[in-house]
Chains A and B, each alone.
Chain A
Amino acid sequence: MPSSTSSFKTYELKRIVPNHHWVLLAMVTVALTVALTLGWELYCRHLGYAPSLNDTEDLWSSRRTLIDEDPNRTVVIGASRVLFDFNLDVYEKAMGERPLQLATVGTNPGAYLQDLADHTEFSGTVIVGVVPSLFFAPGGPPAKSPENHLKRYRGWSPTQRMGHFLGMILERRLSFINQEDLTLKQLLLKLKLPERKKFKAHPDLPPYFYQVDEERQGSMTDMAENDIVLQKRIQQIWLPLFRPPPSPEGKTREQVDADRDKVVNGILEKTKSRVDKIRSRGGKVIFLRLPSTSELRDIENKYTPRADYWDRILQITAASGIHFEDYTELSGFDCPEWSHLSKQDAAEFTRRLMPLFQDLRKAGEM
């Protein structure tokens, strides 16, 4: 706040144009930028990247709005396993309707279930993919991600819709438009600079290994399906992510267990109330446990044993559930990176899942 009272206006309204041939400079700049961008595009394709849609909050919102148009639709929510492993084409062929895919990677689906429970007209079927460590995550990124998606959908402005539409046109044609792996931020992260001794780094997240289409049908990229080195890298990234964090300082094992039980019970209660609300309008809820393999499955069995988590969900909500280990036809699939099925296996898995869904339909469970 200038304290002088000498003049009514301090700024001078003029704009000097520096003495250069600006049209020529602009043309050379555009030509260089286009050439460099094309070079980068070719290099990305050479590395194995292909054009694919970014799995953005806008893309999610574009699917979520469809529930408002048809509140009887079947909706899939959960985390990446149900996003990759549940094939919409196969489901449509067997069940005669196309579900909406609203699962998002690394998320606790509680907020999505709440959103459907709060929808005054929704009376469709909800298929909930359960990854116990995420389903029972008390907060942090697994809880924040669905909140952000829902926030985007609730305030989805005309300009954001238009931006999404235009963005998809470019994403379908250019492989370097890849927010998972090829942004400047991601490229800088690949430098892997040494950290200070006392810096507590967050566990690594897996590198780019999945893609979605316009309907958000997720699948592993060809690179991830074929590159064994990449698969092994992702496997090693899963292990710390699926282990519980170290106990906070000053807390005994018993206190930590008691805290965890409190969180689990709270989530179970909320899940029951959400399921009941959906059912009260004639909707159905089916829980689905999809395959994981090898060391990752061992860790899940150790830290999120079925009896304490999966079984309790079904027991408390009295909803139907399908666990891949309960059916021989669903067992025995190999997950290349221990957590998700390949494209081909995902289609086959869904095909084998369909008779079970048809039985549920006959029983009036969906």
Chain B
Amino acid sequence: MLFNSLTFIVFFIIVLGLHYTVRSWRVQKSILLAASYIFYSAWNPPFVILLWVSTLVDWYVAKALGVEESQAKRKLLLSISLLTNLGLLGFFKYGEFLLENFVEVIQLAGIPFEAASPNIILPVGISFYTFQTLSYTLDVYFKKAKPCHSFLDFALYVTFFPQLVAGPIVRAIDFLPQCLKPRRATRDQFGWGLYFVTLGLFQKVVLADGLLSSPADTIFSHSDSSIYFFDAWLGLLAFSAQIFCDFAGYSTCAIGVALCLGFILPDNFRSPYAAVGFSDFWRRWHISLSSWLRDYLYIPLGGNQHGTLRTLLNLMFTMFLGGLWHGASWTFVAWGLLHGSYLVVEHLLRQNFPDIEWVKTMMGRFVLGLFTFILVSLAWVFFRAVDFPTAWSLLGSLFNFTGEGAQLLPTLEILQVVVVLAGLLSSHWYLHEKRLEHAVQDMPGWWIVVVWTAMLCTLILMQGGGNAFIYFQF
């Protein structure tokens, strides 16, 4: 079920109605759990079985880990969870990719071999809920959390519909304590939650789908000839803005929906396009994934505690897997490795030039921020391009300043990209050091009403066609 659909509006009204009319907290949680299964199975009912498998395996494994002291047995238990979760993820998400690469390697070795296409359908959100359940088992394994005592609470943690399919990836230590006492939003929390939902839908439906997707699609689908550099850059920047508005829009909706139900979800984005440097970018972009990768991959690998070379290798490996998490394609791996390289270079620069003064000035930070944004945008080329030839071709156009190439974008779309991008970057810089909540608190009430009404009216005018969120495919 998509947040930007009429079905969801009806579904949410029913869920809210039930949530706030039922008195028993246990029944409320059961309703939320049932609603979450309906929410998920509305895409493809059989895939709900995968959720059940993941829930059951991690419930029993964590329970056993809670009492087991033998290290060997604890490792065995952890392996069961890892094999099940990563096995399902591997089969559904990477099965075809692995087979394709296997066939290519075999053919390179001169052995004629063709494999039948397995046509595996990717279950929506599998990467998100797999990482979520894994974090629980890993926390229990590393004794950072105790096993949950209520199966209902745990099942709700795995399945909670606002963030089930595209995050934020919530840690058990954040969610499970919220299940202990009845959750009811106050009137102001409820209103603020609705404002968040509107803001998220506005980002997705109006900005990402309505104003940015067309120029980005035009540039990334053009493969016949080179593109005029101005159009190539605008198309690329349109995608930078689109991917943010699409994904941050989902997270914002998820946070708002959860808040209306009285639950608190963590921020997933914090003005990432105002980041100064790449480690700063990853503290602001998809925070729940980057902190997951840091806590469950980078730090267990040794983090930055074993010398420079090991730190750099750890960074590259973590970003390699981070890229692969996004999609079963070498272009995603390239995207991850490019970000890994950015982090490596930044790490070396920080290590070797720790006291450059101009970097700390306002102008220095602005220039570095702009530079970071441009390099992040260039990395999106590999993320969005369907294959490497398209990516190389676009990169060629971006740096071909001879004035040659096709002019692909109409004036209206140029204006759309410029206006949205200017607004987006300004808002990110404005919110660089402060939270949205503080900015809204400083706004007069009438201004909030004007902004809120404008967002709702443009949403109605846009008559969005219910496009899926980009991150659903991951």
Instruction: Return the CB mask of B26-66 against A: 1 if under 8 Å, else 0.
Output: 00000000000000011111000000000000000000000
Query: Is B144 interfacial (CB-CB < 8 Å)?
Result: yes
Q: Kindly state the separation between the CA atoms of A28 and B191 in the bound complex, as whole angstroms.
A: 12
Chain B residues in 8 Å Cβ range of A12: 266
Q: Which one of B73-81, B86-94, B371-379, B460-468 contacts A?
A: B460-468
Interface residues of A, count at CB 8 A:
60
Q: Any chain A CB within 8 A of the CB of B357?
A: no
- In the complex, the answer to whether A15 meets B259 with C-beta atoms within 8 Å is yes
Indicate if A10 sits at the interface (CB-CB under 8 A).
yes
Whether A21 contacts B445 by the Cβ 8 Å rule is yes
Tell whether B400 is near chain A: CB-to-CB under 8 Å. Answer: no
Which positions 3-48 of chain A face chain B at CB distance < 8 Å? 3-5, 8-26, 28-29, 32-33, 36-37, 40
B428, CB-defined interface residue at 8 Å: no
Contact with B along A194-219 (1 / 0, CB 8 A): 11101111000000000000000000
Partner of A23, one of B144, B188, B255: B188
Chain B interfacial positions (CB closer than 8 Å to A) = 1-2, 5-8, 10, 41-45, 144, 171, 173-174, 186-192, 194-195, 206, 210, 228, 255, 259, 264, 266-267, 278-279, 282-283, 287-288, 290-291, 293-295, 298-299, 303-305, 311, 315, 318-319, 322, 339-340, 343, 347, 406-412, 415-416, 435, 437-438, 440-441, 445, 448-449, 452-453, 456-458, 460-463, 465-466
Whether a CB of chain B sits under 8 angstroms from the CB of A226 is: no
CB of A188 within 8 A of chain B? yes
Is the beta-carbon distance between B437 and A17 smaller than 8 angstroms? yes
Residues of chain A within 8 A (CB-CB) of B43 are: 157-159
Q: Which residues of A contact B228 (CB under 8 A)?
A: 198
* A188 nearest CB across to chain B (Å): 6
Q: Kindly list chain B residues whose C-beta atoms are within 8 Å of the C-beta of A196.
A: 407, 411
- Determine whether A163 belongs to the interface, using a CB cutoff of 8 Å to chain B: yes
Contact B295 A9 (CB under 8 A): yes
* Chain B residue contacts of A22, Cβ below 8 A: 187-192, 194-195
**B210 x A184 contact (CB < 8 A):** yes
Q: How far is the CB of B2 from chain A (nearest CB, A)?
A: 7
A287 to B329, CA, bound (A): 44
**CB < 8 Å: which of A3, A163, A194 contacts B6?**
A163
Residue A307 lies at the interface, judged by CB distance under 8 Å to chain B: no
Pick the contact of B440: A8, A18, A26 (CB < 8 A). Answer: A18
What are some 14 contacts across the A-B interface (CB < 8 A)? A1-B293, A2-B283, A15-B255, A18-B441, A23-B188, A33-B457, A157-B44, A158-B45, A162-B6, A179-B465, A193-B410, A196-B411, A199-B408, A199-B409
Contacting pair B191 A1 (CB below 8 A): no
What B residues does A11 contact at CB under 8 A? 266-267, 287-288, 291
**Chain B positions within 8 Å of A3 at CB level:** 279, 298, 303-304, 311, 315, 343, 347
Q: Is the CB of B195 within 8 A of A183?
A: no
Q: Can you name the residue of chain B whose Cβ is closest to the Cβ of A30?
A: B456
Which single residue of chain A is at the shortest CB-CB distance from B436?
Answer: A18
Asked if B144 and A8 sit within 8 Å, CB to CB, the answer is yes
Most chain A beta carbons < 10 A, residue from B1, B7, B45, B460 = B7
Interface string of A166-180 (1 = CB under 8 A from B): 110010000001110
| Neighbouring A residues of B462 by C-beta, 8 Å | 183-185
Chain A stretch 128-161: residues in CB contact (< 8 A) with chain B? 157-160
Contacts of B465 in A (CB 8 A): 56, 179
Q: Which residues of B contact A179 (CB under 8 A)?
A: 463, 465
Q: Give Cα A3–Cα B445 distance, bound, in whole angstroms.
A: 41
A17 to B259, CA, bound (A): 10
Determine the residue in chain A with the shortest Cβ distance to B205. Answer: A184
Q: Closest chain B residue to A33 by CB distance?
A: B456
**Taking the nearest CB of chain A, how far is it from the CB of B413, in angstroms?**
10
Q: A13-B266, A20-B448, A25-B191 are in contact. Are A1 and B463 (CB under 8 A)?
A: no
| Complex Cα–Cα for A56 and B7 (A) | 16
A363 within 8 A of B: no
User: Taking chain B's interface residues, is the majority helix, strand, or loop, or is none over half, making it mixed?
Assistant: helix
Neighbouring B residues of A8 by C-beta, 8 Å: 144, 295
> Does A229 belong to the interface (CB within 8 Å)?
no
Q: How far is the CA of A18 from the CA of B192 in the complex (A)?
A: 8
CB pair B445–A20 under 8 Å, yes or no, is yes
Closest 5 CB pairs of A and B: A22-B191, A5-B303, A159-B42, A18-B441, A166-B6
Out of A36, A163, A195, name the residue touching B457 (CB < 8 Å): A36
A4, A18, A32: the one within 8 Å of B304 (CB):
A4
Q: Is the CB of A17 within 8 A of B188?
A: yes
Query: Are the CB atoms of B187 and A23 closer together than 8 Å?
Result: yes
Bound-complex Cα distance A9 to B192 (A) = 26
- Which residues of chain A (225-282) have a CB below 8 Å from chain B? none
* Known contacts A1-B322, A8-B295, A15-B259; A166/B264 CB under 8 A: no
Given A1-B319, A184-B210, A159-B453 contact (CB < 8 Å)? no
Contact across chains for B5 and A163 when beta carbons are under 8 A apart = yes
The answer to whether B460 touches A5 (Cβ under 8 A) is: no
Please, which residues of chain B bring their CB within 8 A of the CB of A157? 42-44
Q: Is the CB of B322 within 8 A of A15?
A: no
Q: What is the chain A residue whose CB lies nearest that of B280? A: A2
CB <8 Å contact, B5 and A177: no
Cβ-neighbour of B5 out of A23, A159, A198, A199 (below 8 A): A159
Among A23, A157, A189, residue most surrounded by chain B Cβ atoms (within 10 Å): A157
Given A200-B406, A200-B407, check contact A29 B187 (CB 8 Å).
Answer: no
B440's nearest neighbour on chain A, judged by CB, is A18
A162 with B7: CB separation less than 8 A: yes
Q: How far is the CA of A163 from the CA of B463 in the complex (A)?
A: 13
- Check A201 against B410 for contact (C-beta < 8 Å): yes
Residues of B within 8 A of A36 (CB): 453, 457
Closest Cβ of chain B: how far from A322's Cβ, in Å? 36
Least CB distance from A144 to B in Å reads 11
Judge whether B448 and A25 touch: CB under 8 Å: yes
- A187: chain B residues within 8 A (beta carbon): 461
Q: Which residues of B contact A40 (CB under 8 A)?
A: 461
Name the A residues within 8 Å of B304 (CB-CB).
3-5
When the two chains form their complex, are residues A194 and B174 in contact, meaning their CB atoms are under 8 A apart? no
Among residues of A, the one whose C-beta sits closest to the C-beta of B312 is A3
Contacts of B452 in A (CB 8 A): 25-26, 29
A189→B415 CA distance, assembly (Å)? 12
